[in-house]
């Protein structure tokens, strides 16, 4: 029953694949037998990731891509089709944390809003649109969107990230319902706090430094995404679509009190 | 995630050396779920109300692993019943790493006509049994500071269907228990999650035959689920590598939850 977890040369396109969570997913997918088209804005990290995949014995290409430009998204899928002849899986992972300098709403510019929405939400749409046709022609495909716990709850002054990630979860549902008839599934991975960004980044002043506030007591690690990326890319997930896989130290299951709040009350007679 | 000794299984899905209790209300999905755990390398002990259900699980596990790793037959929706089940388990196995509660007795009747005995019996089987066994097994997991609990539920925990009020209430209750136990036991390295199914069958029915049913044509994936659709996710949620996910359901239901 478990043999279909192995990826056997499936072609996976992943955006934001040169760093952070994306790079750890690339590594897990490679170990499970995938071939990869690795996209990212900067050539350096994605070329290094490509070389790592090839050194591990799988095939890979690096495609410099700004997902906020639909022509780049189209070119990414075209480059993948040209090199591999197919696209089995798309992982929309690219995102910008544009709210990295937290500002009151009246100081957020049109450009602040537009640039974050265009990468995090429009970028996922552009890539899904470009990949969906070759997947439909093949009668099978998988779209995996990396959202965030902030797509389900509010964060103080985190307007663009929360809104765009909530949009990604909804995009996933619409893709799943619309594309099921073509054999294409769509699911979201919803990570909680997983420190990956530059430790010197300003947003780190506002994000938790430890997992003390989480029910499980610890933050996530980028490699926590590996097994779920492999599962969702594999035939083992064929009947799962339109869903979220949440990994967040039970943060979303709790959250209505400060961590550790533990009332005791006897049953009234 | 190197490929482990089990043929072509990514190592993060390996349950090698782990011991599991699978508690089943007798549904025909349980033997497949137990077999998936065995295929990943776990020793699986069956708990069921009737010998026939325990036999089906044991047969499925033995077919995969070549070993009969034990069973207990009897109700476990009371403290004594749950303790007896865990006592029988402990006679064969030194520790419990995994508890799978597949306690879904189905029941459908107009809400205006459900009598108290039916309501109470359904809640005893589906909810109280899940809590009792989780409590007894959870005490051991708290002592050993490790455990994985997975509750198998229906997507009726989220959505309503005519005549399914009592059953849906039990599924929502088990989902709520999933959240609560995950939050309460999270600091003790215990993870509690749920895997949810939709309209499913354990039989292999040809697609053309399935699609004569309106319910199947209504499902976005246009087929019924099969317990093997839950297998890999169940195994992952039971594995030591499933560390960050907790307190959440994962529905594998052919897209029904996204259906408008």
- What domains does chain A contain, in order, with CATH numbers? 3-247 (3.40.50.720)
ipTM: 0.94
B250 in contact with chain A, both atoms CB, cutoff 8 A: yes
- Is B139 contained in some domain? yes
Q: Comparing A128-142, A206-220, B216-230, which segment has the lowest mean pLDDT?
A: A206-220
Degrees to nearest 5, angle at CA B245 with A195 and A58: 70
- Is B258 contained in some domain? no
- Is B1 contained in some domain? no
Share of chain B above pLDDT 70, in %: 97
pLDDT digit string, tens, across residues B73-124: 999 999 999 999 999 999 999 999 999 999 999 999 999 999 999 999 999 9
Say whether pLDDT at A97 is over 80: no
pLDDT band at A123 (very low <50, low <70, confident <90, very high): very high
Nearest Cα residue in chain B from A177: B220
Say whether pLDDT at B5 is over 70: no
Mean pLDDT of B197-207: 94
Say if the Cβ atoms of A246 and B36 lie within 8 Å.
no
| Number of domains into which chain B is organized | 1
pLDDT of the residue at A102: 78
Query: Which candidate in A243, A248, A255, A263 is best for mutational testing of the B interface (most B CBs within 10 A)?
Result: A243
pLDDT of the residue at A205: 64
Share of chain A above pLDDT 70, in %: 95
List the domain range (segments joined by +) for residue B149: 12-220+227-251
Residues of A in contact with B16 (CB under 8 A): none
Contacting B residues, span 183-212, partner chain A, CB-CB under 8 Å:
183-184, 186-187, 191
To the nearest whole number, what is the mean pLDDT of chain B? 95
CATH number of the domain bearing residue B107: 3.40.50.720
Say if the Cβ atoms of B244 and A231 lie within 8 Å.
no
Contacting A residues, span 1-30, partner chain B, CB-CB under 8 Å:
1-6, 28
pLDDT of the residue at B3: 44
Mean pLDDT of A65-71: 98
Residues of B in contact with A181 (CB under 8 A): 220, 222
> What residues are paired with B45 via a beta bridge?
B21
Say whether pLDDT at A209 is over 90: no
- Is B179 contained in some domain? yes
Minimal C-alpha gap between A44 and chain B (Å): 25
Mean pLDDT of A179-187: 97
- Is B5 contained in some domain? no
- The residues of A annotated with a catalytic role in the active site are 161
Contacting A residues, span 163-222, partner chain B, CB-CB under 8 Å:
172-173, 176-177, 180-181, 185, 192, 194, 214-218, 220-221
- Is B246 contained in some domain? yes
Say whether pLDDT at A25 is over 90: yes
Say if the Cβ atoms of B251 and A245 lie within 8 Å.
no
Q: What is the 3-state secondary structure (H, E, C) of chain A?
A: CCHHHCCCCCEEEEECCCCHHHHHHHHHHHHCCCEEEEEECCHHHHHHHHHHHHHCCCCEEEEECCCCCHHHHHHHHHHHHHHHCCCCEEEECCCCCHHHCCCCHHHCCHHHHHHHHHHHHHHHHHHHHHHHHHHHHHCCEEEEEECCHHHCCCCCCCHHHHHHHHHHHHHHHHHHHHHHHHCEEEEEEEECCCCCCCCCCHHHHCCCCCCCCCCCCCCCCHHHHHHHHHHHHCHHHCCCCCCEEEECCCCCCCCCCCCCCCCCCCCCC
This prediction has a pTM of 0.96
- The residue among A72 and B260 whose pLDDT is bigger is A72
Say whether pLDDT at B230 is over 70: yes
Say whether pLDDT at A202 is over 70: no
Say whether pLDDT at B50 is over 90: yes
Say if the Cβ atoms of B259 and A3 lie within 8 Å.
no
């Amino acid at each position: 029953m478990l043999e279909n977890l192995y990826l056997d040369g499936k072609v996976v396109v992943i955006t934001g694949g040169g760093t952070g969570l994306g790079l750890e997913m690339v590594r897990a997918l490679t170990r499970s037998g995938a071939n990869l088209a690795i996209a990212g804005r900067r050539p350096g990290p994605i070329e290094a990731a490509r070389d790592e995949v090839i050194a591990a014995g799988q095939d890979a290409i690096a495609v410099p891509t700004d997902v906020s430009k639909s022509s780049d998204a189209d070119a990414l899928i075209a480059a993948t089709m040209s090199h591999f002849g197919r696209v089995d899986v798309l992982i929309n992972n690219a995102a910008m944390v544009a709210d990295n300098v937290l500002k009151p709403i009246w100081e957020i510019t049109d450009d602040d809003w537009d640039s974050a929405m265009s990468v995090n939400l429009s970028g996922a749409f552009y890539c899904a649109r470009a990949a969906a046709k070759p997947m439909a022609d093949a009668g099978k495909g998988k779209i995996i969107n990396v959202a965030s716990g902030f797509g389900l709850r509010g964060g103080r002054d985190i307007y663009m990230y929360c809104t765009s990630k909530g949009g990604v979860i909804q995009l996933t549902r619409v893709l799943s319902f619309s594309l099921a008839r073509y054999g294409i599934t769509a699911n979201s991975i919803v990570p909680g706090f997983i420190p990956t960004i530059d430790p010197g980044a300003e947003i780190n002043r506002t994000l938790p430094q430890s997992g003390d506030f989480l029910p499980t007591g610890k933050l996530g690690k980028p490699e926590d995404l590996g097994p779920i990326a492999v599962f969702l890319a594999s035939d083992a997930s064929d009947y799962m679509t339109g869903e979220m896989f949440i990994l967040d130290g039970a943060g979303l299951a709790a959250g209505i009190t400060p961590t550790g709040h533990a009332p005791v009350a006897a049953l009234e007679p | 995630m190197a490929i482990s000794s089990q043929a072509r299984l990514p190592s993060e899905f390996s349950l090698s050396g782990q011991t599991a209790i699978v508690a089943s209300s007798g549904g025909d999905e349980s033997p497949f779920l137990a077999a998936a755990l065995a295929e990943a390398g776990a020793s699986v002990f069956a708990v069921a109300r009737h010998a026939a259900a325990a036999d089906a699980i044991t047969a499925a596990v033995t077919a995969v692993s070549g070993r009969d790793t034990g069973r207990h037959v009897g109700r476990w929706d009371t403290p004594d019943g749950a303790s007896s089940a865990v006592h029988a388990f402990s006679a064969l196995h030194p520790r419990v790493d995994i508890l799978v509660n597949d306690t879904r007795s189905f029941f459908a009747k107009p809400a205006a006509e459900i009598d108290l005995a039916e309501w109470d019996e359904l809640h005893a089987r589906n909810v109280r049994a899940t809590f009792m066994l989780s409590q007894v097994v959870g005490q051991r997991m708290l002592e050993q500071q490790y455990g994985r609990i997975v509750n198998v539920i229906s997507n009726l925990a989220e959505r309503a269907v005519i005549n399914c009020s009592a059953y849906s209430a039990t599924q929502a209750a088990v989902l709520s228990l999933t959240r609560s136990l995950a939050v309460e036991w999270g600091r003790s390295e215990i993870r509690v999650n749920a895997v949810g199914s939709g309209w499913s069958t354990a039989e292999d029915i040809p697609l053309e035959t399935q699609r004569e049913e309106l319910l199947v044509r209504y499902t976005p994936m246009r087929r019924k689920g099969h317990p093997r659709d839950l297998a890999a996710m169940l195994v992952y949620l039971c594995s030591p590598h499933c560390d960050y996910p907790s307190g959440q359901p994962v529905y594998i239901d052919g897209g029904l939850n996204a259906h408008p």
